[in-house]
Chain A
């Protein structure tokens, strides 16, 4: 599975030009959404796209280890959930400052990633998938047993995080741009890491770990660093999610959520980074559109996903490439 999944990614050196243009378009569109939204049901549109960007952050974290590291994590929702709980629990104790809860969310997720990664990364391929799933479910059940913080029902975040003591994130528009800024930083940082010395070793370990070891690289330690980075970004996504929904629940950590994240990166195009953003947007917008048509929207959504995975290898980006290729030949 790891093999086929990784097969769709491209070397960074070959995609530099197109990537710049594509990511510029993505962020421009996202930056303009609030202006368009002003003409329609503003809070609905803002809320929907905020959600898209929050999940795009989580999908980016997953695309980094999955698409570039070849490590298919099936428990990535746990990091999102842990980040969300950091906000919820701190909030329950009256701490709402972003400068406290954001680092706390990322650090807690990073520690969880370090501990679980130390175990998971000893295994490979399908065993890695299963053991990350197991840790994810573990986090899910632990969250459900936190009786003090709502147990299975979750807990409400009464106040959105403040920034330097000011409640500016209360404003939906300000919060939207805060999430957009976070997404941009995450995208940019991952883009830089992928091209760096570390990124080269990380990508090499996906291609051929034995060869990397015989070159003198401690593959396990490199992969664990990548896993921790990815976990910390998952925590960031959780921080944003708790603030976006003003609610925290064990459901954020369920394996279905982890599965959705995998579908998002497959949908957008694995190992491309911007594919994670496109995939998150496509997934959530299709879901939104279909659920408006019928209550049984999953009946349509399921087959649609199967078709995309079957016929659009490389995700929506791959599909766009092929259509362009066909048009070019005619």
Chain B
């Protein structure tokens, strides 16, 4: 059996009296695409924030590739190979699309404490960044300022940045949020192509996308995992239908 890439062990998070994560235990194997679904307020984004390091859990441990990262800051986790995208697009608005991705390439390469030599003329970095842009269909938009991209293109740019990091695990926080049907389908295609190259944890409301992509699904309600299994098993689970999927499956 292969060791899991990510292991959440009895994770708890309280905001004062409010319990947002309530004993979550979860494994993600190499190359696995694991979807976390659940109603609004179930604690999905909070879970992602704890894994990526933006929030500290109240109790429990997070181990990544066998290393306990529970106390590590965000940038150290990223260096270990943990990438994430944001529910609300989070790019550098006044950097070009290419430069946004180039920064991700630069981050995993040699030191960035270099004070001379034009960063924007580094061939190897630009080529790698260009390749990542091409993978998400933004090859033509490299020189456009991120602020001037359409919403769907920004979502794709987030993916390109994550891909360029060459992560071991990618946390995707509603990558389709706010996109139209067509754009959403395009992003699903991109994710299908990326699948298997690294592990992914996908939080998404778009059930068509989730069932098209996921190897395994965990259903989160009130901060607790209600069910966990293959898409077919989850789809058939009466608890899940009652709590969440109900009407959507008609």
How would residues 83 to 102 of chain B score, 1 for a CB under 8 Å from any chain A CB and 0 otherwise? 11010001111111001001
Tell whether, in the assembled complex, residue A216 and residue B75 are in contact, meaning their CB atoms are under 8 Å apart. yes
Tell whether, in the assembled complex, residue A200 and residue B119 are in contact, meaning their CB atoms are under 8 Å apart. yes
Interface residues on B, range: 35 or more
How would residues 184 to 204 of chain A score, 1 for a CB under 8 Å from any chain B CB and 0 otherwise? 000000001101111111011
Decide yes or no whether B6 CB sits under 8 A from chain A.
no
Chain A residues with Cβ under 8 A from B107's Cβ? Answer: 215-217
Closest Cβ–Cβ distance, residue A204 to chain B (whole Å)? 5
Among residues of A, the one whose C-beta sits closest to the C-beta of B93 is: A207
Interface residues of B in 122-150 (CB under 8 A from A): 122, 145
Chain B residues with Cβ under 8 A from A217's Cβ? Answer: 75, 107, 112
Tell whether, in the assembled complex, residue A200 and residue B99 are in contact, meaning their CB atoms are under 8 Å apart. yes
Interface residues contributed by chain A, number (CB under 8 Å):
29
Chain B residues with Cβ under 8 A from A294's Cβ? Answer: none
Tell whether, in the assembled complex, residue B75 and residue A197 are in contact, meaning their CB atoms are under 8 Å apart. no
How would residues 21 to 52 of chain B score, 1 for a CB under 8 Å from any chain A CB and 0 otherwise? 00000000000000000000000000000001
Compute how far the CA of A97 lies from the CA of B112 in the bound complex, rounded to whole angstroms: 36
Chain B residues with Cβ under 8 A from A201's Cβ? Answer: 103, 106, 112
Compute how far the CA of A13 lies from the CA of B117 in the bound complex, rounded to whole angstroms: 14
Q: Which of A192, A193, A199 has the most CB of B within 10 A?
A: A199
Compute how far the CA of A215 lies from the CA of B145 in the bound complex, rounded to whole angstroms: 19
**Chain A contact residues: over half helix, strand or loop, or mixed?**
helix
B83's contact among A192, A195, A214, by CB below 8 Å, is which?
Answer: A214
Compute how far the CA of A200 lies from the CA of B248 in the bound complex, rounded to whole angstroms: 46
Compute how far the CA of A216 lies from the CA of B108 in the bound complex, rounded to whole angstroms: 8
Decide yes or no whether A158 CB sits under 8 A from chain B.
no
Decide yes or no whether A123 CB sits under 8 A from chain B.
no
Decide yes or no whether B187 CB sits under 8 A from chain A.
no
> Considering the complex of A and B, which 10 residue pairs feature the smallest CB-CB distances, nearest first?
A216-B78, A207-B92, A213-B74, A216-B107, A197-B114, A215-B107, A200-B119, A216-B79, A197-B119, A195-B118
| Contacts from A to B (Cβ < 8 Å) | 9, 11-13, 192-193, 195-201, 203-204, 207-208, 210-219, 222, 225
| Contacts from B to A (Cβ < 8 Å) | 52, 54, 73-75, 78-79, 83-84, 86, 90-96, 99, 102-104, 106-108, 111-120, 122, 145, 161, 165
